[in-house]
Amino acid sequence: MSPFESAAEAALPRITPIAEVNARVVSYRLPVYVGCTVLAVLCNYLLGKDMAWDMLNYHLYSGFSAVNDRFAQDYFAAGPPAYFNPFAYVPFYALVSAGLPALLIGSILAVAHSIILWLTYELATSVSPSRDPRTREAMGICAVALTFFNPILLQQLGTSFSDITTAELVLAGWLLLGAAVRTPSAGRIVGAGLLIGAASALKLTNAVHAISGIAILMMLPLALGGRVRYGLGYVISLGAGFVVTTAPWSFRLEQMFGNPLFPMMNGLFRSPEFTTEPLRHFRFIPSNFIEALWRPFAIVDPISMVHEELRSPDLRYAILVILLGFLLLRMLWQRGAGASTPTPPVEPGSSGRVLAALGCGFGADWVLWLSASGNGRYFLPMASVAAVIIVALIFRCFATQPKLRNYILIGIFVVQGVQLWMGTDFRWNPVPWGGPWFRIAVPERLKTESNLYLTMGIQSHSFIAPFLASGSGLINFSGGYALGPDGPSGARTEALIRRFSPHVRILVLGARLHADAERLQPRFSQVDATVARFGLRVDPSDCATITVYGLPAPLEITIGRSEPVAAQNRDTTYLTSCRLVPDLNARSTQVTSQRAADLVLDRLEDACPKLFQPRRLLSEPNGAAWQRTYMNTDLTAWVSRGWVQFRNPNSADPTVYLGRESDWANAPLRLACGRHNGHYFAHVLESKEGT
């Protein structure tokens, strides 16, 4: 070779391994990533804007409180969720506060949410049994399509929910764990722990996926000692990711309440400002073992309140059970037939081991999730893992029958597509795109005068906080978690009332307050009875109305109301704010009747702790009734007109009567009670002779 040829060769760019990787990314991954993002943005546009109940109740407020210190002026502004880690909601609040058009905000969020599809593609290709790039890409695309057909994922695309964004951290962590099963690496284990730990800090429900990740590490191709070392590294990095992410917020919670995870785990930290009873939401948890076994098939039914509040039929988990059953039968058949050519064993470092590890992790996660919540919104990362496992099993089972494999996959997509088309609620509260995310008309006085707003109802209306005068405060004292005048919570509430006085106002749903004779909600007497616990009453001469445009009414979940709510415009919601003035006699008139109701409701809780939990919450007036709302079971029990009753407002079940108030006041009664197929039942038993 001449010197000139050598110089020319040296001048040519060399193809390095990094360049080869980048070329592969551009040629295979980039088109898939772009396609996923375009699909997510287009789907979000077609589904419209979602003014979801949770967004109005605490999502916007959480982002607002994360960047504005609200501890000195707010107290339970969004009920207990006001103190959940708020950092996951900062992006949504930042986009809204920037005044961007709603469609642009939703599109930006949809782009961020499409990353879960990218990660699904990577996870699927990592378990492909074939080295053929086309087969690997086909597996990845099929897994992406099956993930995209998740009704809950579609519901949350482009919305304020943090389930998808935190699920992406979990899925990225599981992708690293799967890579570590193929090629053990301390860096991958630590990276996975940090990501999943951060996801758990941002949303505590992800802790289930952090725990089940340990099952994946059991499949590491190492001796027991190596697995233990990597397992310890994973746990330590989990803790580090959790602590670093939650520390700024937990420090404030510890300062204010003495509980760094307030209001969660208060049975351990025992802050006096919240119940120390165990918290466990039973809404979607199976009531017995048979229901738990049937849950993969129950989810197929297009009805609400199965694994989410909305209709969200999902075929995938039933398919996964059927596939596993098919594999078991095939294995037994091969053993019984004495097959002379058994399936070759999967090598420890192969994709088969990774798939088995994902299967073990998914199985552990399913059991933990179903026991902890059963809420499909908290299962989004595992829904993607399920899609990967299903596609991988189909490709493996029918590797020699590609036509049959393709027919099966097409059949799955068609059936699930029909389910989505005919039986899915795609938005919680859909409204058309157009203008900013919020259009709120606040009276000029309320925009300039700093007031303390006491809010009533399960819906806290905390989304209004950024639109009020700077320095205004919020207390959701009645509804989700009732606050009374006694104890540390009462002292803190009373202190805020004294600090803001005389600028203290009520904020309720409705264009105005009504007199009793009008027989419409909301009523002056109802508000007066509720604020009487703090020695206050409404001043009818000082009321103002806040108008929220583009928000279908009503916001409120009604519980046991005898009068109808006043009609509102179809796309407009009104909030009434009236000044509250001192009334020292207001509280004294309620004491006797509340004590009588407390005795009865206390005995009811002791007679059936399975239903009425957490116990010993504050009783609140509601017309002629005294009632308690039970967060764990969604039930409301009340004493009214001489009868003891309860009802689940989230179901169509009728009100249940549990005897006369006088009988409960004389002595505790015995109940037969429980839960079956998501429905609560109770009835009074006859007294035993001699008792």
pLDDT digits (tens, 9 = 90+) for 516-534: 888 888 889 999 999 999 9
Residue found by looking up tokens 């029990």 in the block: 637
CA 220/CA 176 separation, integer angstroms: 12
pLDDT class for 27, splitting at 50, 70, 90? low
Average pLDDT of the residues in 561-584 = 76
Tens of pLDDT along 66-118? 999 999 999 999 999 999 999 999 999 999 999 999 999 999 999 999 999 99
Indicate whether 558 pLDDT > 50: no
The predicted pLDDT at position 650 comes to 83
The pLDDT value given to residue 1: 47
**pLDDT confidence tier of residue 20, bands split at 50, 70 and 90:** very low
Cβ atoms 660, 669 nearer than 8 A? no
**Cβ(431)–Cβ(451) below 8 Å:** no
Mean pLDDT, range 304-318, rounded to an integer? 93
437: closest CA among 429, 449, 448, 445? Answer: 429
What is the arithmetic mean of pLDDT over 639-665?
Answer: 92
224: tokens are 């027991």
pLDDT band, residue 490 (cuts 50/70/90)? very high
Interatomic CA distance for residues 423 and 300, integer angstroms: 10
Q: Is 92 helix (H, G, I), strand (E, B) or coil?
A: helix
What pLDDT does 399 receive?
A: 83
* pLDDT tens-digit series, residues 371-404: 999 999 999 999 999 999 999 999 988 888 989 9
Is a pLDDT exceeding 90 seen at residue 340? no
Decide: 673 and 635 in contact? Cβ < 8 Å: no
Q: Which residues are 625's β-sheet partners?
A: 622, 640
The pair of structure tokens assigned to 551 is 């928000």
List Cα–Cα distances, 306 to 284, 433, 631, 679, 680, in angstroms: 6, 30, 18, 11, 15
H/E element holding 456? Answer: strand 452-457
Q: Which run of H or E residues covers position 538?
A: strand 536-549
Separation between Cα atoms, residue 687 and residue 691, nearest integer Å: 7
pTM greater than 0.85 (yes/no):
yes
Tell me 56's DSSP state: I
DSSP secondary-structure letter at 286?
A: -
pLDDT tens, position by position, 200-258: 999 999 999 999 999 999 999 999 999 999 999 999 999 999 999 999 999 999 999 99
Q: Average pLDDT in the 328-347 region?
A: 65
- Whether the per-residue pLDDT at 18 is higher than 80: the answer is no
> What integer is the mean pLDDT of 557-567?
49
CA distance 201 to 245: 6
Q: What confidence score (pLDDT) does residue 457 get?
A: 87
Per-residue model confidence (pLDDT) at position 15: 42
- Mean pLDDT score of the chain: 89
pLDDT digits (tens, 9 = 90+) for 30-63: 999 999 999 999 999 999 999 999 999 999 999 9
Mean pLDDT of the 19-37 span: 71
Angle in degrees, CA 557, 531, 83, rounded to 5: 60
Assess whether pLDDT exceeds 50 at residue 6. no
| Cβ proximity of 354 and 129 under 8 Å | no
Q: Which residues contact 402 (CB under 8 A, 6 or more apart)?
A: none
Tokens read off for 325: 């059953």
**Could you tell me the CA-to-CA distances from 553 to 102, 311, 515, 565, 665 in Å, in that order?**
20, 21, 21, 10, 40
CA angle 132, 134, 137 (to 5 degrees): 110
Alpha helices in 373-478 (DSSP H): 380-397, 402-423, 444-448
| Distance (Å, whole) CA 440 – CA 628 | 33
Local confidence band at 348 (pLDDT 50, 70, 90 cut-offs): very low
Q: Read off the pLDDT of residues 606-640 as tens digits, 9 standing for 90 and up.
A: 999 999 999 999 999 988 899 999 999 999 999 99
Both structure tokens of 284: 């979607």
In this prediction, residues 260-286 reach a mean pLDDT of 94
Determine the pLDDT at residue 661.
95
Considering the chain, what percentage of its residues have pLDDT values greater than 90?
A: 77
pLDDT at 565: 56
Which residues are CB-neighbours of 289 under 8 A, at least 6 positions away? Answer: none
Which of the pair, 587 or 456, is modelled with greater confidence? 456
**Which residues, other chains included, contact 505 with Cβ-Cβ below 8 Å and sequence gap of 6+?**
451, 452, 453, 454, 577, 578, 579, 580
Token pair, residue 346, equals: 């999967």
Q: Is the pLDDT of residue 566 over 80?
A: no
Which pLDDT band, with edges at 50, 70 and 90, does 333 fall under? confident
CA angle 281, 286, 288 (to 5 degrees): 125
Asked if the model's pLDDT at residue 263 lies above 90, the reply is yes
Gap between the Cα atoms of 7 and 540, Å rounded: 92
Ranges of beta strands (E only) in 148-246 are none
What does the DSSP 8-state code read for residue 533? G
